């Protein structure tokens, strides 16, 4: 009986320690990736401001078998929704604000918090264009979610890098034809 009591107190202590550490950790994860593109801003803006162009460059929207993509560009708040047939991966990207040099996004995945993001475009003195993708993902107070936040930069950041590199390839190809997804 004494061993069970010691084990119970030990487990409660470990849980309390993880909870306190989790509460001390930041309540959100901020992820930023950028790329320099050898193309004018005019070649890049349509890809980021028109959601029907995102399937060409957003790495998680690349044509997987069974991927269903719905784009509503005529809505007051344009959105893109994707879903795999098995519903393993799904989510919504909504444009909350569009300015000449930036696009603000709300990204949501079922069962997870909504992330806010911004794609900023600026032209350098050499004529190249810098695209910076900022993403802020809020974390709940749960200790395991706060610890998960440590790995978010690696997981989501790699998707951002892949996507920005695809955007770079598309924007630098002057002979490209923009595809329009319904």
pLDDT digit string (tens) for 83-111?
776 656 678 888 888 888 999 998 887 77
Q: Where are the beta strands (DSSP E) in 46-158?
A: 67-72, 79-84, 90-99, 102-108, 115-123, 129-138
Q: What is the DSSP letter of 113?
A: P
Q: What is the pLDDT of residues 112-168, one digit of tens each?
A: 778 899 999 998 888 889 999 998 887 777 777 777 777 778 888 888 999 999 999
> Which one of 52-56, 88-92, 147-151, 178-182 scores highest in mean pLDDT?
52-56
Report the alpha-carbon distance of residue 61 to residue 68 in Å, rounded.
9
**Cα Rg of the chain (Å, integer):** 21
> What end-to-end distance do the CA atoms of the chain give, in Å?
67
Quick check: pTM over 0.75? yes
Measured CA to CA, the distance from residue 163 to residue 59 in angstroms comes to 5
Residue 41's pLDDT band (cuts 50, 70, 90): confident
Phi/psi at 117 (nearest 5 deg)? -140, 160
**Position 178 confidence tier, pLDDT thresholds 50, 70, 90:** low
pLDDT in tens, 59-84: 877 766 667 777 887 767 788 887 77
* Confidence check: pLDDT of 176 > 90: no
DSSP element (H, E) containing 73: none
Residue (of 182, 147, 161) closest to 23 by Cα position: 147
Q: What dihedral angle (degrees, nearest 10) is formed by the CA atoms of 118, 57, 74, 106? A: -30
Span 160-180, average pLDDT: 78
59-64 contact pairs (CB < 8 A, 24+):
59/159, 59/162, 59/163, 59/166, 60/89, 60/159, 60/163
What is the residue-wise DSSP string for 15-52? HHHHHHHHHHS-SEEEEEEEEEESS-HHHHHHHHH-GG
Q: Which domains does the chain have, with CATH numbers?
A: 27-172 (3.30.530.20)
């Amino acid at each position: 009986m004494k061993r069970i009591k010691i084990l119970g107190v030990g487990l409660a202590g470990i849980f309390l320690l993880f909870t306190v550490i989790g509460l001390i950790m930041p309540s959100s994860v901020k992820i930023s990736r950028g790329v320099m593109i050898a193309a004018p801003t005019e070649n890049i803006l349509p890809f980021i401001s028109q959601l029907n162009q995102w399937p060409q460059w957003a790495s998680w929207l690349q044509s997987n078998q069974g991927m269903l993509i719905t784009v509503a560009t005529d809505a007051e708040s344009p959105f893109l929704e994707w879903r795999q047939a098995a519903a393993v991966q799904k989510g919504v990207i909504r444009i909350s604000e569009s300015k000449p040099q930036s696009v603000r996004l709300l990204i949501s995945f079922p069962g997870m918090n909504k992330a806010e993001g911004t794609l900023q475009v600026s032209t350098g003195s050499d004529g190249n264009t810098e695209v910076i993708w900022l993403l802020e993902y809020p974390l709940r107070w749960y200790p395991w979610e706060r610890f998960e936040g440590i790995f978010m930069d690696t997981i989501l950041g790699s998707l951002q890098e892949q996507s920005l590199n695809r955007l770079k390839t598309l924007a630098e190809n002057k002979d490209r034809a923009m595809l329009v997804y319904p």
